[in-house]
Structure 1
Amino acid sequence: MPQDYFSNLFQSFNDKNILILGDVMIDSYLWGDVNRISPEAPVPILSGIGRENRLGGAANVALNIQALGANPILCSVIGDDIRSHDFFKLLKAQKMSKEGIVTCHHRKTTVKTRVISQHQHLLRVDEEICTPINHDSEEKLMAKLIHVLETHRIDAIIFEDYDKGVITSSVIEKVVKLANEKGIPTLVDPKKRNFNDYKGVTFFKPNFKEFNEGCKLELNKSESKELVEAGKKFQHEQDIDILMITLSERGVFINHKEGDSAIVPAEVRSISDVSGAGDTVISVSSLCLIQGMEPGLIARIANMAGGLVCEESGVVPINKDLLLQECVRKIKL
C-alpha cells in the first residue's frame, strides 16, 4: 500500500545525520506595500515595512533536512562580523549545531536582502565576498569537517555550492576522498566555478542552465535525445553514479550509470516563487538515496517537493506532512 510505504519511508528519515558543506547565508526580507512612485526618482516607495531574517544558501538545505525529520550538520566559513551574530542566533533558534562553522575576519557573512510587495520581488541586494577562502580558512574548515566525521555517524554529505568561495577544488578532492573511504554517499548541488571538479561523487544535480554552462553546451530543453546523450557522456567522464538535471517546466532528467535514463514530467503548479526549490530537491534526494530508493522514484518525489515550495512566497523549507500526502495521492507503486 502506498500509504504504508511512504509513511515508513518518511519515518525512516528521522535517525539520519546529513553533513552539509557549502556557502551559508542570511536571507533577509523587507515586506511592504507600494502605493506611489517617489517624486525624487521614478522608483516605487515601499511603506509599512516588515523585516525578517532567515537561514539561506546551504543553511536552507539544513532547514529542509530538519523539516524532513533528519539531523543536519553545517560546515562552512562566514565572516567575523555583525551579521555572523545574526546567523548564529538563527542557528540557535532552529536548534542547529554551529560546530562545523568557521569565522574569518577576512570575509563577509553573505546576506541576500529581498524587497517584496504583494508577493512580487521588487529588488534584491547581495552583500558578499565571492573569492575562494584562503589556505588558513580551508585548513580550519577541513579540521572541523573531519572532527564531525569522527564524532558523528554521517549518512550522507551534501555539497551545496553557491560560488561564494567556501567550496574549492581542493576541498572537493579531500572530502570526496574521505567520503569514499568511509562509504558515505556524496550529493552535489553545483554552480559554474567548480562544476567539473566533482569527480567520483554519488549524485550530481545541476539545473539545465548550470549543465549547459558547466559543459559549455547550447542544448535545447525540447531536444531530449541530445540532452540524454550529453548527460550520459558527462556522467561517464566524471564517474558519477546518478545524474539528475532539473528542467523547470519540463520536469527532471535522471540517469543511473548502470540503468536506464528517464525524464519525469513537471506537475502543473501555481508558482509563487522559485527561490530555494533546488535546496529542497537536493535535500529530499539525499534522504531518499540513502534509503536505497531507485533513481526514477527519487526524481518523482524530489520534483514534487520542489514544486510544493515554489507555491510559497520567499525561501521556505518543505512541509513533510504535505509532501507525504502528495506522494500517497499521486505516486502509484
Structure 2
Amino acid sequence: MRLDRAQAESLLRRMEGRKVAVLGDVMLDEYLFGEVSRISPEAPVPIVRVVREHAVLGGAANVAANLKALGAEPLLIGTLQKDVAGDRVLGLLGRLGISISGLVLDASRPTIIKTRVIGQQQQMLRIDREEAGPREAAVLLGLKDRLDRALGEASALIVSDYAKGAVNESVMEAVREFCTARNLPWIVDPKPAHKALYRGATLMTPNTKEASELAHAPARTDAEVAEAGRAIMAELGLRGLLVTRSERGMALFAPDGDHAAPWMVPTEAREVFDVSGAGDTVIAAFGAAVAAGADWREAAMLANAAAGVVVAKVGTATATPAEILAHYHEQEAN
C-alpha cells in the first residue's frame, strides 16, 4: 500500500497553513564546498580549496524550514544568542517568513553552529561550536511562556531534541501539561540519553541506531525492530512509534494496530547523496500531515516520500509539495 499522486496532492493541500509548533535546539548549518587535489605537507590530510560557502537553518530551525517548505505554518520555540550566527539564523528565518516570536535570547551561550567541509561532494569534516548544558531559570521561563502561547494556536507539537539544552525536564513537564490540557499530539525526534523526558509522547521517530539504544537491544531485522519498538512503547507509554530504517524504509507502530508487528513502509529513495537533516524532514512531514487530520499510515507514507526527495540533495535540505508530487509522478512512471 502506498499513496498515489492524487492522494498525496489532496493531503498536501490540507496541510497548507496548518500551524505546527516546533520546540528544540536552534542551530546554524554551514557548508564549505571545495576542491581537493593534494595532501598537506604539514600532516597527512587533504587540502580543501574552498570555492563556495552556504548557510542554512539547522536543528529545530530546519524542522521549521521543512514545515514552511511543505506549506504548513511553523511556530518555532527555542533559544539563540545575539551574535553573528544568531543574526544569520534570524535573517534566514525572516527570508522564509518564519516567525521569530517564539525565540528566547540566551546570553549565557553562543548560537550553535555546525560547519561541514565538503570536498568533491563528499563530507570530509564536521566542526561543532556549541555549549550544551542546563539553561538559566529566566530562559526556562521564557521557553515555557513561548510554548504555552504557540500551543494555543497549533494543531500539533514537534519536539526536535539535539541534546543541547533546550529540551530538558522542566520544559518537558510543561509540554505534557499543555498538550494534555489541549488534547494536542506531540511527536518527538529523540536522543536516547534523554529517554525519560519523552514519557507519554504521542509518537517518537527514532532511527535504527536510536531505537536500538532506546530499547537496549538490536534493531536491524524486521523481527528485532518489532521487539525493540514494543519495548520502547511499553516503557515510555507511547501511543505509537515510527522507526526510520534508511534503505529499508520505515516501520510504523500505529494506535489502530495490535503492535504484534509494525507496518513496514518501503523506502522511496532512488538516489542517496546526503542524509543530513532527513530526520527533520520525516518528522516535519509526519507532524504536518497529522495536524491536517491524516491517519498515521498516510502521514508515514508522505514523510517517506519527502525523505526520498531530500536525501537526493547535498546538505541539509527541504522538500516542497511540487518536488514530492514530481517524485510520485516519477515513481508511477516506473
The TM-score normalised by the length of structure 2 is: 0.92
Give the superposition deviation at 1:3: 4.3
Matching residue of 2:214 = 214
Secondary structure (helix, strand or coil) at the match of 2:274 reads coil
Give the superposition deviation at 1:309: 0.7
Matching residue of 2:294 = 293
Match of 2:231 among 226, 230, 233: 233
Q: In structure 2, what residue type is equivalent to 1:247?
A: R
Q: Provide the aligned C-alpha RMSD in A.
A: 1.9
Give the superposition deviation at 1:74: 0.7
Matching residue of 1:107 = 109
Q: In structure 1, what residue type is equivalent to 2:66?
A: N
Equivalent pair of 2:118/2:125 in contact (CA under 8 Å)? yes
Equivalent pair of 2:151/2:178 in contact (CA under 8 Å)? no
Q: In structure 2, what residue type is equivalent to 1:199?
A: R
Kindly provide the CA deviation profile for residues 213-269 of structure 1, in whole angstroms up to 9, marking residues without a partner as x: 12222x1412x2232133123213322122111111221111123414212222452
Q: In structure 1, what residue type is equivalent to 2:90?
A: F
Extract unaligned runs of 5+ from structure 1.
none
Secondary structure (helix, strand or coil) at the match of 2:193 reads coil
- Within a 5 Å distance, the mapping from 1:254-273 to structure 2 comes to 254-260=252-258, 261-267=262-268, 269-273=270-274
Query: Which has the larger displacement, 2-11 or 240-249?
Result: 2-11
Give the superposition deviation at 1:211: 1.4
Match of 1:125 among 124, 127, 135: 127
Matching residue of 1:26 = 28
Aligned partners of 1:146 and 1:202: how far apart in 2?
A: 18
Matching residue of 1:276 = 277
Change (3 A) 1:226 1:33: closer
Aligned partners of 1:67 and 1:52: how far apart in 2?
A: 18
Count of aligned residue pairs for this structure pair: 327
Equivalent pair of 2:20/2:291 in contact (CA under 8 Å)? no
- Within a 5 Å distance, the mapping from 1:1-333 to structure 2 comes to 2-150=4-152, 153-217=153-217, 219-222=218-221, 224-260=222-258, 261-267=262-268, 269-327=270-328, 330=331
Secondary structure (helix, strand or coil) at the match of 1:75 reads strand
Give the superposition deviation at 1:80: 3.5
Equivalent pair of 1:232/1:257 in contact (CA under 8 Å)? no
The TM-score normalised by the length of structure 1 is: 0.92
Aligned partners of 2:330 and 2:44: how far apart in 1?
A: 49
Extract unaligned runs of 5+ from structure 2.
none
Kindly provide the CA deviation profile for residues 250-297 of structure 1, in whole angstroms up to 9, marking residues without a partner as x: 211111234142122224522100101000000110122223333333
Equivalent pair of 1:301/1:327 in contact (CA under 8 Å)? no
Query: Which has the larger displacement, 265-274 or 113-122?
Result: 265-274
| Runs of 4+ more than 6 Å apart | none
Kindly provide the CA deviation profile for residues 17-67 of structure 1, in whole angstroms up to 9, marking residues without a partner as x: 111000010001111111222222222222243222111111111111001
Q: In structure 1, what residue type is equivalent to 2:318?
A: P
Aligned partners of 1:213 and 1:2: how far apart in 2?
A: 35
